[in-house]
């Protein structure tokens, strides 16, 4: 948990869990209230009024996880006090699937990243897949059979799939699915149960670029697959959208892998997998561009909640005249030589600068 880094770096913490998950919010409030020193860790529960009141205070640092709209509100409020901010937002995280890979393992790893955690309701979940036209059908077959292995013939009955968090989000996700631009393009799933807030793992083939689903962060169990003529064409498609929090590539091709790492801008990446990079504590976790700013996890959390205070300490013994007026031509010449590096290897402090 991120607050461990904050506490390790010597901070007191006020935690505001999301009101969208009220049971988790109250569990955190009860457990942290019971086990943590209340003068160091406090939990504030509530919604917009509570968050607004918190944001009026002057903090040393604010870390927010969520969406870009609220991210902008946080950053604006923080600007009033010049408070530094870490924003972990989301975006459309792409998965590029090259041919000639171990399709079964790739399908399993895409499913685990997309539906395995919160049924697509995570910020690093695969948002859409890009593959070549001829490979798309193989990929759909592999996804279909592995989905059945994991969730049975009727995924709506599976105990291993999360519900949609609330009815507002259920409507948001089904609106993407009901867009006329993708009608007839559902190749896996599509079932929904409004009363129980369930939506089945759903794959959509060839969603047009101007469809809602290709322009909004999905944050739910829908997975559009878009096809390209050459796998290299995926780079331009990804870079035409806001920079994602994560980007994934499945390939056997070393050159493609290297170009992907170099040419695609994303908060983080996993090659031949999805999501797992965030479990690695030696890697910083954070966004770039529209997916956020700042990073944390492991030692990076400690660094994020620390200030690197620079302190120079000196004695009185050496106090060269060159630093003080009058600036004679001789002093200026020596100064210039020092600043341009003509005199190398002499620490400036040693000669009194």
Ligand X SMILES: *[C@@H]1O[C@H](CO)[C@@H](O)[C@H](O)[C@H]1NC(C)=O
Check binding of 259 to ligand X (CB under 6 A).
yes
> Would you call 123 a catalytic residue per the annotation?
yes
Q: How far is the CB of 345 from ligand X (least distance, A)?
A: 38
For ligand X, the closer of residues 215 and 263 by Cβ is 263
CA distances, 89 to each of 49, 184, 220, 283, 317 (Å): 21, 32, 15, 17, 53
With contacts defined by CB under 6 A, name the span among 86-94, 257-265, 294-302, 338-346 that binds ligand X.
257-265
Closest distance of CB 226 from ligand X, Å: 16
Stretch of residues binding ligand X (CB under 6 A), selected from 85-93, 111-119, 255-263, 302-310: 255-263
The rounded distance, in Å, linking the Cα atoms of 222 and 300 is: 32
Nearer to ligand X, 259 or 303 (CB): 259
Ranges of H-type helices in the chain: 2-8, 22-35, 48-55, 68-80, 103-111, 133-151, 167-177, 233-239, 254-263, 299-304, 329-339
Of 78 and 95, the one with the shorter C-beta distance to ligand X is 95
CB of 98 to ligand X, least distance (A): 9
196 binds ligand X (CB under 6 A): no
The residue from 252, 328, 343, 348 that contacts ligand X (CB under 6 A) is 252
Dihedral sign, CA of 115, 121, 122, 126?
Answer: positive
Angle at 39 between CA 38 and CA 40, to 5 degrees: 90
Interface with ligand X includes 265 (CB under 6 A)?
no
Q: What share of the chain is helix, strand, coil (3-state, %, to 5)?
A: 40, 15, 45
Q: At what angle do helices 133-151 and 103-111 cross, to 10 degrees?
A: 60
Instruction: Return the number of the residue (232 or 303) whose C-beta is nearest ligand X.
Output: 232
Number of chain positions touching ligand X (CB under 6 A):
9
Contact region with ligand X (CB under 6 A), list: 11-19, 65-73, 152-160, 256-264 = 256-264
* Catalytic entry in 93, 123, 217, 290: 123
Q: Which residues contact 264 (CB under 8 A, 6 or more apart)?
A: 235, 238, 239, 247
Nearest CA to 4 out of 32, 27, 24 is that of 32
Report the site for ligand X in 198-237 (rule: CB under 6 A): 232, 235
Q: What are phi and psi of 26, to 5 degrees?
A: -75, -30
Does 272 bind ligand X (CB under 6 A)? Our answer is yes
Among 52, 166, 263, 328, binds ligand X (CB under 6 A): 263
Q: CB count, 10 Å around CB of 112?
A: 17
Question: Which residues, numbered 73-102, are part of the site for ligand X (CB under 6 A)?
Answer: 102
50 part of the active site: no
Q: By CB under 6 A, name the binding residues for ligand X.
A: 102, 232, 235, 252, 257, 259, 263, 271-272
Instruction: Kindly list the catalytic residues.
Output: 88, 123
């Amino acid at each position: 948990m991120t607050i461990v880094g904050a506490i390790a770096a010597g901070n007191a913490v006020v935690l505001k869990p999301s009101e969208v998950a009220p049971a988790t919010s109250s569990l955190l409030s009860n457990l942290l209230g019971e086990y943590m020193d209340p003068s160091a860790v406090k939990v504030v529960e509530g919604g917009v009024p509570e968050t607004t009141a918190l944001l009026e205070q002057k903090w040393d640092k604010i870390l927010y996880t969520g969406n870009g709209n609220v991210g902008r509100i946080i950053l604006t409020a923080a600007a009033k006090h010049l408070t530094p901010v870490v924003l972990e937002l989301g975006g459309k995280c792409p998965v590029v699937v090259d041919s000639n890979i171990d399709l079964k393992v790739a399908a399993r790893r895409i499913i685990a990243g997309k539906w395995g955690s919160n049924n697509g309701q995570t910020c690093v979940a695969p948002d859409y897949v890009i593959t070549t036209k001829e490979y798309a059908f193989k990929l759909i077959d592999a996804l279909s059979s592995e989905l059945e292995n994991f969730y049975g013939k009727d995924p709506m009955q599976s105990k291993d799939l999360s519900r949609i968090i609330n009815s507002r989000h259920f409507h948001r996700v089904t609106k993407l699915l009901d867009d006329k631009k993708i009608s007839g393009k559902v190749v896996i799933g599509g079932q929904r149960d409004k009363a129980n807030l369930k939506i089945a793992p759903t794959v959509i083939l060839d969603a047009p670029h101007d469809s809602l689903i290709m322009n909004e962060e999905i944050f739910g169990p829908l997975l559009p697959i878009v096809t390209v003529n050459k796998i290299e064409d995926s780079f331009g498609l990804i870079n035409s959208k806001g920079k994602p929090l994560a980007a994934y590539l499945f390939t056997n091709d070393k050159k493609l892998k290297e170009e992907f790492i170099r040419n695609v801008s994303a908060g983080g990446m996993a090659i031949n997998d999805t999501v797992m990079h965030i479990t690695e504590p030696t890697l910083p976790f954070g966004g770039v561009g529209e997916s956020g700013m700042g990073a944390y996890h492991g030692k990076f959390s400690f660094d994020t909640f620390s200030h690197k205070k620079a302190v120079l300490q000196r004695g009185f013994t050496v106090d060269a005249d060159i630093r003080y007026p009058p600036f004679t031509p001789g002093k200026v010449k020596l100064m210039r030589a020092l600043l341009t590096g003509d005199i190398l290897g002499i620490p400036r402090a040693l000669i009194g600068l």
